[in-house]
Structure 1
């Protein structure tokens, strides 16, 4: 049986482990966490709709179900020439066949410790809940949510979850009858955050901001964060009792320090079949990889899963386990999200030929909750996999 080592226990790594097993490989997955954190449904932890335990799914359950080996450790170094990885435990592993699915690091900002992120370390979702509960107990306050960019790789921007939590917090304050006591401001360095989703989605966001009386600070680069606010490069300041900020993705330090082929942001250069350029038998998928494609391209979970399945398929071809054509991730480049707002959602889709926005009052929120259940059940084979989901 052919062996593969998969680095990363997130959405991409888990999908790779499952599909490499389906292709007949012996799989070992190395993760620095004992659970798969399902970020798309983590937006509800800070507002009390969901719990940490329901979002953090034990990797051991998945390992038993799909019969792959799970190792909890952290990767500290990678050597492409020697085809080795070094773990925090000190162990050095030889890996002739490797899949890197370690996600991305984060852009560093001065004063970032004064912020919390819905897309950061999973524990920050609980800290956000504590902050929100304290702010509600306080009775009034100033709330600032935002996200940043990476000029070396714009595809690493992740603003959707920030908007979702922003709308959900607004909805929670409305339900409590205290929304008018809070100033809510969204900030971002780009002039039109959300523009990559298409003109219709951008118009919807603008309409919702006007309707809900949100303030905005767009087009100003962030200088640094302070305990009670955000300071911009033009010297202006946004006061805040709670600052939620999602830094753009950046290459992990251990990847930047490796000999792997990288783009300017430190993401691994691959071909359309997810093969790392110049290293036979090594693949990179999901946020760890450098995507090719149109300017509006974005790193999302559904694309990471496509890349994982394609890597498994293409590896089986390379090892002579099947005789089929290799699969490219490029044909699957699109933006797809259900932007939850607490009392509904908006379905957003964009590819090279069209951009669609479908408002889904009330039912959209429950459909996204149902997707969280479906995601876990389908990963455990308790529920049949629906193509495209």
Structure 2
């Protein structure tokens, strides 16, 4: 039985592990955390609608259910030339036939980034956003800035939806408390049309929502520096803020830099359509770790990472002669698919492909649907119900 080593216990890595086990492979999973953090539903931590324990899945339970060898440790180095993986504990992993890299990405460096908090960063950052918001609510007033950045070297490495979701959830939370009029909420982004990946109709709808809820907008201005009390733009205008919730564009994990794997300009691992690392028949990269190629609106998303995990498992099985058929490509599955939550006001179903771009409002029910998805996701990952989404 071929042995597969999966690096990363996130959305893509765990899905790859499930798919590989279903194909009959022996799987070892390395994660630097003892839990899977479910980013899509962590958006409710800042407003207190969800607790930390509500958005995690213990990996020991996951591993037992799927028969995966779990290793809680941090990957320190990947040595592609010698086919070895070095861990923080000092352990060296080399007893594997295939490697699947799903270590995610890191933040693109920006001046003063330490003065911001990201909903897409470490789990601890979501808790810090919650605590800072509680402080401002106790104070009774405040200015909060919400934004996300771009990466000219890899335009797929952008996280916009979670920022919009936290913004609208915070707006609703403050309104529910009856103190929204005492807070100034501002959205900012360096690109002229943030959210344009979803199409012009979606952009107009976002603008309408900003106007409806009294949210200010600053776009098309590059960010010069983040300071403790606000955001300084390239034209030296300053956005004063008590709390900056900002998600920078992604950058390749530092571990990739001296791995020997081919990288693009932003430090992501170059792959074939089959998810195989270019030049390495035994190595695959999926999700945020990979240099994804597609239409201009292509974005790294969790559902694509999961699809890539299944494609990788299928392609390895074909290579090993465990199943017949052709090798599959991730490119035919590229699309943008998400349910953008706005609190109990509802949400919006967003979809983008080569043929269609839409954002459909779903009042009230949209929020319930996302809540239901969170329940489904945890049950599925623990093997209690089949995959339906």
Common fold by TM > 0.5: yes
* 8 Å CA contact 2:171, 2:180 repeated in 1: yes
CA distance in 1 between counterparts of 2:337 and 2:350 reads: 6
* 8 Å CA contact 2:75, 2:86 repeated in 1: yes
CA distance in 2 between counterparts of 1:315 and 1:276 reads: 13
Counterpart of 2:221 in structure 1 is 220
* 8 Å CA contact 2:252, 2:267 repeated in 1: yes
TM superposition shift of 1:101: 0.3
CA distance in 2 between counterparts of 1:177 and 1:74 reads: 45
CA distance in 1 between counterparts of 2:382 and 2:326 reads: 28
Counterpart of 2:326 in structure 1 is 325
**Secondary structure at the residue paired with 1:156?**
coil
* 8 Å CA contact 2:198, 2:358 repeated in 1: no
* 8 Å CA contact 2:2, 2:97 repeated in 1: no
**Secondary structure at the residue paired with 2:156?**
helix
CA distance in 1 between counterparts of 2:37 and 2:383 reads: 18
Counterpart of 2:40 in structure 1 is 40
* 8 Å CA contact 2:66, 2:383 repeated in 1: no
- More displaced stretch, 222-231 vs 165-174: 222-231
CA distance in 1 between counterparts of 2:209 and 2:244 reads: 21
TM superposition shift of 1:258: 2.0
TM superposition shift of 1:384: 2.3
Counterpart of 1:81 in structure 2 is 81
CA distance in 2 between counterparts of 1:22 and 1:384 reads: 13
TM superposition shift of 1:109: 1.4
The two structures, once aligned, show a CA RMSD in angstroms of 0.8
**Secondary structure at the residue paired with 1:298?**
coil
Counterpart check, 1:138 vs 2:146? no
Counterpart of 1:351 in structure 2 is 353
Counterpart of 1:370 in structure 2 is 372
Map 1:291-310 → 2, pairs under 5 A: 291-310=292-311
Counterpart check, 1:129 vs 2:156? no
CA distance in 1 between counterparts of 2:206 and 2:300 reads: 20
Q: TM-score, normalised by structure 1?
A: 0.98
CA distance in 1 between counterparts of 2:386 and 2:253 reads: 35
**After the TM superposition, which segments of 4 or more aligned residues of structure 1 sit over 6 Å from their partners?**
none
**Secondary structure at the residue paired with 2:358?**
strand
The unaligned stretches of length 5 or more in structure 2 are none
TM superposition shift of 1:330: 0.6
Q: Deviation digits for residues 345-370 of structure 1, max 9, x if unmatched?
A: 00010100111221100000000000
Q: Deviation digits for residues 17-36 of structure 1, max 9, x if unmatched?
A: 11100000000000001100
TM superposition shift of 1:311: 0.2
Map 1:258-297 → 2, pairs under 5 A: 258-297=259-298
TM superposition shift of 1:139: 0.5
Matched residues, number: 387
The unaligned stretches of length 5 or more in structure 1 are none
**Secondary structure at the residue paired with 1:356?**
strand
CA distance in 2 between counterparts of 1:233 and 1:89 reads: 44
TM superposition shift of 1:110: 1.6
Counterpart of 1:340 in structure 2 is 341
TM superposition shift of 1:92: 2.1
Counterpart of 1:120 in structure 2 is 121
Counterpart of 1:181 in structure 2 is 182
TM superposition shift of 1:257: 2.3
CA distance in 2 between counterparts of 1:112 and 1:356 reads: 33
* 8 Å CA contact 1:83, 1:96 repeated in 2: no
Counterpart check, 1:14 vs 2:11? no
TM superposition shift of 1:91: 1.9
Counterpart check, 1:30 vs 2:14? no
